[in-house]
Chain A
Amino acid sequence: MNVEATIESREISYSEAIREAMEIALNRDERVILMGEDIGVYGGAFQVTGDLVEKFGPDRIMDTPISELGGAGVAVGAALTGLRPIFEFQFSDFATLAMEQIVNQAAKVRFMLGGAVSVPVVMRFPAGSGTGAAAQHSQSLEAWLGHVPGLKVVQPSTPEDAKGLLLAALEDPDPVMIFEHKILYKTKGIVPEGYYTTPIGKADVRRTGDDVTIVATSIMVHKAIEAADILAQENIDAEVIDLRTVRPIDRETVLNSVRKTGKLVCVYEGVKTLGIGAEVSAMVAESDAFDFLDAPIVRLGGAESPIPYNPDLEKAVVPQIPDIVESARAIAKGVI
């Protein structure tokens, strides 16, 4: 965390932390603008932008038409002209509609123009399941965008990181995609006041332990910590790493932990196959940390299924605390 001034901390929610970050940015940098569907008077699909339009006016807090492709295109264009746009999607699922602008334009323009320009756009994606919003409004598509060179992709799990990573994203010359878990919006945490940034590309060890490494992202970090508490009662000491950034992944933090524990569980809500856990596992297997593995690597990810509407099934298709406990225990004890 880079802090500019001595500051106080207090407990606020994840969505309040994001709003606070945007308000700070709007105040300290006139190039910052907000764009998105219903982010003005309505305050955003998840009430994240809230009353910002009253403070900064519709010139800087701009409602866009219901066209993600159009809105994202304007945001990318604005970034190219030197502005610092923050573009909000109502649901991360609608990234599919804006893929042309994100993947073919934002991620590539800097390369194709030989570095003459950059695209300092920030896009915010409310993501994940657990709200009963069914298959088209509950996905975790961060691995899709994590596959594209030229983009940076972050997944804050705490209010403090939600604020710090958003402010860091605005400093970054490249397009930064922020996946915010919808269930986390209401969670609270200690957040420093004022301006600070959380480094992109740096994971955070949320809990230290010697017996097994659990690498988790977003909401799974919280589940992993609860799982670690349960495991601690069985004298299994789990280390929980919050990846925070999925592109670029913080290799060293993960490898160091695996060198220490020899055991790795990856937990993420996105579909397991070809997901973030595949990347983390392969990264370990390809590195010298391979020689420290004392058990098979375990991945826990979303099932091979669209997110169901039925609440029980919705839970069943993503990893839950008992799944994490069971897997971590099994490899810690060397029984799988």
Chain B
Amino acid sequence: MPVEVILPKVDMDMATGKISAWHVAPGDRVEKGAPLFDIETDKAAMEVESPETGILHHITDPGTEVPIGDVVGWLYADDETVGDPPTANAGSAQWELGKDNQSEHSNILVEENKQSESTESGSSPSQVRATPLARRLARETGVAISSLAGSGPRGRIQKRDVEAAINSIAKNTSSVTKSETTVVPKPTDDGILKNFIEGSYELVPHDGMRKTIAKRLTESKQTIPHFYVSVDVELDALLALRAQLNGAAATDKDGKPAYKLSVNDMTIKALALALRDVPDANVSWTDENMVMHKHADVGVAVAIPGGLITPIIRRAEEKPLSVISNEMKDLGTRAKERKLKPEEYQGGSTAVSNMGMMGVKDFSAVVNPPHATILAVGAGEKRPVVKDSEIAVATVMTVTLSTDHRCVDGALGAKLLAEFKGYIENPMSMLV
């Protein structure tokens, strides 16, 4: 029997993935453990090793969106005859999803899933790798099993995956019923397109990253009560210290300095130290508990072609500026190449979004869950300021902290921002 090659789950909230490239051509032999293909998830690219030694056949074309756990190729033994692609148990054993005993409150998810099935995967339930128990639970609760991502081996859907889906339906439903009168039906694609003259536009299909951004930010704005606090901070002392530190950087034999600090690096450090000082603001929200983080893991929004990604500087409160700076450079470079690993952009308790370099004066950012805060940083510019009743000139930037009001109240946000301002305006305090 040929061995299946499965699209693995490499990212926590991944339901589908795309093969960006095969390392082995159909008909070629591959050793177990050798690189077989690159997978592109919502946020990153990753190499997948061959599960077995054999000759590769019947591969899925690069660029096709494939649900997790689906077969993307087959490995044949040397003496095996290659016929049509082997198929899993398609056909008779199928059951209609969510048709008979679908309960009132599962309509939403089922509708959603029908849509995603037809547009994305087209996979039928019988092709889904799932345990009998998971199938039964899904059948009884009306959950569309083909829409779920399995946490088991080779993406197998288990009881816990269906239960997680049921819980999220219950949660979504309760919020929908409460605010029923205010829900505006989402316009359909056709409904949007008919506003424009045909031929006056081109349609570019969304890639995984665009879909993730849309999904996560919609979810954030719809479920997180945002609260905003702004403050102006003077940068002159920080700029002077930065120049001094950069001037003191050791150089290697090519004359390359060991580090080159940016204002952003120092902003990351200042926010991390402020979170250390105000631990109540270094949190994440769950329905049951406040997640009190022990370290300040600061995400940094990096614009990349086609979207953005937020790699995390872990334990930023402990790290020297030079380490933060060099780590940031590396993460930024690899983010642009889409080479970040999931663990490099998942988690964190806050984020910095800096649009200063683009001349933006001030803006408000959308909290990126599981974070509780995000700091929007504007441009540093010379502005008239009043000092001792005299008008003076100072380099000032405006920062706006968005908080998840469920866990960081206004006063707490203000306290965090005051600490942040203290570090920026007395930057030597960041060094000790």
Q: Residues of A with Cβ closer than 8 Å to B?
A: 262, 290-295, 334-336
When the two chains form their complex, are residues A334 and B136 in contact, meaning their CB atoms are under 8 A apart?
Answer: no
**Chain B residues with CB below 8 A from A291, complex form:** 132-133, 135-136
Q: How far is the CB of A293 from chain B (nearest CB, A)?
A: 5
Main secondary structure of the interface of B (DSSP, over half): helix
**Chain A residues with CB below 8 A from B159, complex form:** 262, 294
**Chain B residues with CB below 8 A from A290, complex form:** 132
Identify the closest chain A residue to B140 (Cβ). A291
When the two chains form their complex, are residues B135 and A336 in contact, meaning their CB atoms are under 8 A apart?
Answer: no
When the two chains form their complex, are residues B133 and A293 in contact, meaning their CB atoms are under 8 A apart?
Answer: yes
When the two chains form their complex, are residues A262 and B133 in contact, meaning their CB atoms are under 8 A apart?
Answer: yes
Given contacts A262-B159, A334-B158, A334-B160, contact A292 B132 (CB under 8 A): yes
How far is B130's CA from A291's CA once the two chains are assembled, in angstroms?
A: 11
**Chain A residues with CB below 8 A from B167, complex form:** none
**Chain A residues with CB below 8 A from B151, complex form:** 334
How far is B337's CA from A273's CA once the two chains are assembled, in angstroms?
A: 52
Q: How far is the CB of A291 from chain B (nearest CB, A)?
A: 4
**Chain A residues with CB below 8 A from B134, complex form:** 294
Identify the closest chain B residue to A262 (Cβ). B133
How far is B156's CA from A115's CA once the two chains are assembled, in angstroms?
A: 52
When the two chains form their complex, are residues A295 and B135 in contact, meaning their CB atoms are under 8 A apart?
Answer: no
How far is B287's CA from A326's CA once the two chains are assembled, in angstroms?
A: 35
How far is B135's CA from A335's CA once the two chains are assembled, in angstroms?
A: 18
Q: How far is the CB of B120 from chain A (nearest CB, A)?
A: 26
**Chain B residues with CB below 8 A from A262, complex form:** 131, 133, 159
How far is B130's CA from A293's CA once the two chains are assembled, in angstroms?
A: 10
How far is B151's CA from A294's CA once the two chains are assembled, in angstroms?
A: 12
Identify the closest chain A residue to B152 (Cβ). A334
B247 within 8 A of A: no
When the two chains form their complex, are residues B136 and A292 in contact, meaning their CB atoms are under 8 A apart?
Answer: yes
10 residue pairs A–B, Cβ–Cβ below 8 Å = A291-B135, A292-B133, A293-B133, A294-B131, A294-B134, A334-B151, A334-B152, A334-B153, A334-B156, A335-B152
Identify the closest chain A residue to B130 (Cβ). A294
When the two chains form their complex, are residues B131 and A293 in contact, meaning their CB atoms are under 8 A apart?
Answer: yes
Q: CB-CB contacts of B283-300 with A at 8 A, as 1s and 0s?
A: 000000000000000000
How far is B131's CA from A335's CA once the two chains are assembled, in angstroms?
A: 12
Q: How far is the CB of B160 from chain A (nearest CB, A)?
A: 7
When the two chains form their complex, are residues B153 and A294 in contact, meaning their CB atoms are under 8 A apart?
Answer: no
Q: How far is the CB of B133 from chain A (nearest CB, A)?
A: 4
* Interchain residue pairs A-B with the least CB separation, the first 7: A294-B133, A291-B136, A294-B159, A294-B131, A293-B132, A334-B152, A262-B133
Most A CB contacts (10 A, CB to CB) among B131, B136, B159, B160 go to B131
**Chain A residues with CB below 8 A from B133, complex form:** 262, 291-294
**Chain A residues with CB below 8 A from B136, complex form:** 291-292
**Chain B residues with CB below 8 A from A295, complex form:** 131, 152, 158
When the two chains form their complex, are residues A294 and B135 in contact, meaning their CB atoms are under 8 A apart?
Answer: no
Question: CB within 8 Å of A: which of B132-188?
Answer: 132-136, 151-153, 156, 158-160
Q: How far is the CB of A72 from chain B (nearest CB, A)?
A: 44
Q: How far is the CB of B182 from chain A (nearest CB, A)?
A: 40
How far is B131's CA from A290's CA once the two chains are assembled, in angstroms?
A: 9
**Chain A residues with CB below 8 A from B158, complex form:** 294-295, 334
How far is B133's CA from A262's CA once the two chains are assembled, in angstroms?
A: 7
Q: A334-B152, A334-B156 are in contact. List 5 more A-B contacts (CB 8 A).
A: A290-B132, A291-B133, A292-B136, A294-B131, A335-B152
Question: CB within 8 Å of A: which of B89-146?
Answer: 131-136
Q: How far is the CB of A75 from chain B (nearest CB, A)?
A: 46
Identify the closest chain A residue to B160 (Cβ). A334
**Chain B residues with CB below 8 A from A292, complex form:** 132-133, 136
How far is B418's CA from A54's CA once the two chains are assembled, in angstroms?
A: 98
**Chain B residues with CB below 8 A from A334, complex form:** 151-153, 156, 158, 160
Question: CB within 8 Å of A: which of B235-273?
Answer: none
**Chain A residues with CB below 8 A from B160, complex form:** 334
**Chain A residues with CB below 8 A from B135, complex form:** 291
Q: How far is the CB of A229 from chain B (nearest CB, A)?
A: 25
